[in-house]
Chain A
């Protein structure tokens, strides 16, 4: 499933698309919330790898306003819980992810994002 943790790691990889290729923008989203118990150790370990602005923007685009603009330096339990909710409990089952750089659309179907490109779209 595309949880936002996964979305925060995905970027457009169309040939020569290097500007604004992250984060991909959700549209026509079918969102499911699956409640789960938080694992703060996991969150703390993942934090340095997060792109915070991308996460905040994406969460807000999906209607979640709980994250602060700036990544906290000291986390309260409440903030950790909010992060857990956004990263781990918001599942995008259907929809599209569009690259702001080149416009390529990566569809999500049955919770699986399709990052495949045709051979001519890939390059090095």
Chain B
């Protein structure tokens, strides 16, 4: 369910046309091309404020899961985009040979990063379409030498999906963000990147955090299991990548941005924050007519009008997002953990001077699971949080 914001941002239509034009003129120098007046750009679809209903499960089915299945092929073109740097840093900071869970990991975007970092990543997602991509990746936990897809048939067919350079054993499991189908104590780390914001109630978001922490190793001593969560922020920068990537992908949540700007600039009464929105995804028709080698396609690129089969209108699908405001992600994680009986240990870098250091020095009456927030921040229109969990046996003195 990972939402990739910088979708394949094709160059502006104008520059595309210019390049194609010169190529074409090299081949057929005679005729000046009639310049077609450009149609005024269609207004980009804007996010729509969303009111959760009494059936969040059904809402998410239509406003999240079905949309991801529909856009999966398009979405997966983003797979080779650069990983977000903080997540890469996080993965590289883990002890080698750690095994972790990527909950809502979609097409396995972080599997290659994890492999580089020498750690294993199991991808869990609800969308089979996205998982289909994730499973083509090589498996983890193998030696560096061979191990490239030497499939040997035992029963039935050797899988037909094996892809060059990959042994097709990327570990994938179909499950949603509240899937509890893991034994406890099996993962050294867990990430959930741009996924939890698709859950439409506070209760479900808390559940997702609890379920993310549940299968982690809770160790009495280092190395402790660690987690990282990313969600879309309500607070959007005006020149964000998200906005620039909006040519084919979801535009910046204008509703939220407008609201924020108004409240900041004009001194008017702050409008109610619209944190629950349906963000449009413009599903472009297939790009076959772009191939420069056929004359027809050049024509198509120049005229804005498909020449061959009339391309279908781009379809606009809406995905539900809950946009997190400052402090909300931390509160979510802390409250979810407390609800599950965790002690919250003092954090080193809280946001905006906020310190939470309760009970760290109190003696414990029994083995107690604890959580420590290692960092919270805003990056490129997202909020992230990183933390660790462990257990303090009653036999140990308090920290």
Contact = CB atoms under 8 A, between A and B. Distances in A.
B61 to A, nearest CB: 9
B176 interface: yes
Interface of B: 57, 95-99, 120, 122, 124, 126, 128, 131-132, 135, 139-147, 149-159, 161, 167-176, 178-183, 185-187, 207, 215, 217
B135 A30 contact: no
Contact of A41 (B96, B155, B183): B96
Contacts of B168: 1, 111
Given A38-B143, A112-B131, A119-B57, A13 B183 contact: no
B52 to A, nearest CB: 15
A33 B154 contact: yes
A102 to B, nearest CB: 13
A31 B161 contact: no
A43 B141 CA distance: 8
Interface of A: 1-3, 5-6, 8-13, 22, 29-39, 41-43, 45-46, 49, 51, 87-88, 91, 93-94, 106, 110-117, 119, 122, 124
A117 to B, nearest CB: 8
Nearest to A44: B97
A36 to B, nearest CB: 3
A25 B159 CA distance: 22
Contacts of A51: 183
A5 B151 contact: no
A3 B152 CA distance: 14
Contact of A22 (B97, B173, B183): B183
A36 B179 contact: no
Contacts of B176: 116
Contacts, number: 146
B146 A112 contact: no
B174 A113 contact: yes
A42 B135 CA distance: 20
A11 B183 contact: yes
Most buried by B among A8, A34, A117: A34
Given A10-B173, A11-B183, A34 B151 contact: yes
B139 A3 contact: yes
Contacts of A22: 183
Most buried by A among B97, B153, B176: B97
A20 to B, nearest CB: 13
A9 B157 CA distance: 26
A112 B128 contact: yes
Given A38-B142, A39-B142, A119-B57, A32 B179 contact: no
A13 B211 CA distance: 11
A43 B178 CA distance: 29
Contacts of B169: 1, 3, 34, 91, 111
A94 B153 CA distance: 13
11 contacts: A6-B171, A31-B155, A32-B158, A34-B151, A36-B143, A43-B141, A51-B183, A112-B172, A115-B179, A115-B181, A116-B126
Given A34-B167, A45-B98, A94-B156, A111 B135 contact: yes
Given A41-B96, A111-B172, A122-B178, A5 B150 contact: no
Given A32-B159, A35-B152, A3 B167 contact: no
- Shortest Cβ-Cβ A-B pairs, 8 listed: A37-B143, A36-B147, A115-B181, A13-B180, A115-B175, A30-B156, A45-B97, A42-B141
Nearest to B176: A116
Given A1-B139, A112-B131, A10 B181 contact: yes
A32 B152 contact: yes
B154 A49 contact: no
A42 B97 contact: yes
